[in-house]
Structure 1
């Protein structure tokens, strides 16, 4: 498990394990039965992979709902221009999908800003993991990309599945809109996330908070 976690090769893992057993006195010149080689490490890794995959398949059986969220990240990629390799920065959207018990199911990377892309990517993973017919509920935040009535990711997923799903949508983004419009109506648009530039904002800077 540690070899997987830190990306250590089979040969290096075998050398570390053998050296540790020698330090503890479990391997001696007379008794070398516990000497570890790379083939033994490879067999142990394969056994661990099979055990983990079987456990995940058993746990996936009870999945009936999925929740997903994403964020935009900058990614570096190498492209060839006129025979020269150059580094290019692009924006990618990383989507994380969990089940109703907060267990990680899968993650995917796609182009940002399109609900159909999110829905298609989620569907392909559901199909791959045998969850297409089991999913009854989908949860996400309330942005238009996800919860839009016409072309949101949930609507597109329902179209691909040819059936309706139960929605579990976080209303945080919807609830902040009335308060935002109220501030913009009385104080004008803000110049940044932490600043107010018109009368109300300037007055707030001169007042102190009082708890009643």
Structure 2
């Protein structure tokens, strides 16, 4: 489990385990029956992964609600240019989905951050795990890409499912709107994300 969590190779894990057993005196020149090699580690890791996968498949049967959130992450990807493989950094939308009991279900990388693509990625998972008839509730941030009445991710997911869902929307983004509109009314809109355009905010920036 620790080897998988920290990305340690089978060979390195075997060396660490064997060295630890030697330090505790469990492996001696006369008794080397429990020396660990990379193949033994590989078998143990695969057995543990199968157990976890089976446990998650049993738990996923009880899923009746899903909550999701996303963010843009810089990701390394391999591309082929003129027959040569090169590494480049690209920005991808990553969506993480949990169930109604806050258990991790899966994560996905939709084609884009648009509502239709987010909904399609989630629906694909629901279909694969035969959950499209079990889901009753969906929760997310109250951003327009999620809760837009025409093309938000929830609306698109409902269209794919062919029925309506109960919405559980975080209202923190909604709470920001009155304050933002108040600032814009008295001082105008921001010119760029990290700069101010009106005299009040410019004065505050100099003071701070």
TM-score > 0.5, shorter chain as reference: yes
The answer on whether the counterparts of 1:158 and 1:165 sit within 8 Å (CA) in structure 2 is yes
Give 1:89 deviation, angstroms: 4.1
Distance apart, 1:188 and its partner CA: 1.5
- Which SS does the other structure have where 1:46 is aligned? helix
Matches of 2:37 and 2:53 in 1, distance apart? 25
Aligned twin of 2:108: 108
The residue matched to 1:110 in structure 2 has which SS? coil
Report the equivalent of 1:123.
123
* Worse-matched range after superposition: 174-183 or 147-156: 174-183
Unaligned runs of 5+ in 1: 208-212
Deviations 1:149-174 (A, max 9, x none): 11111111111111111001112222
| Contact 1:73–1:92 (8 Å) recurs in 2 | yes
Partner of 1:25: 25
Larger radius of gyration: 1
Greater Cα shift, 64-73 or 18-27? 18-27
Query: Residue 149 of structure 1 aligns to a residue in which SS?
Result: coil
Aligned length: 208
Of residues 192-201 and 43-52 in structure 1, the stretch that sits farther from structure 2 once superposed is 192-201
Distance 2:147 2:46 in 1: 42
Q: Give the conservation status (yes or no) of the 8 Å contact 1:91–1:112.
A: no
Contact 1:72 1:112 in 2 (8 A): no
Which moves more between the two structures, 29-38 or 196-205? 196-205
Deviates more, 1:135-144 or 1:43-52: 43-52
Structure 1 202/117 Cα, relative in aligned 2: closer, same or farther at 3 Å?
closer
Displacement after TM superposition at 1:76 (Å): 3.7
Unpaired runs of 5+ residues, structure 2, are none
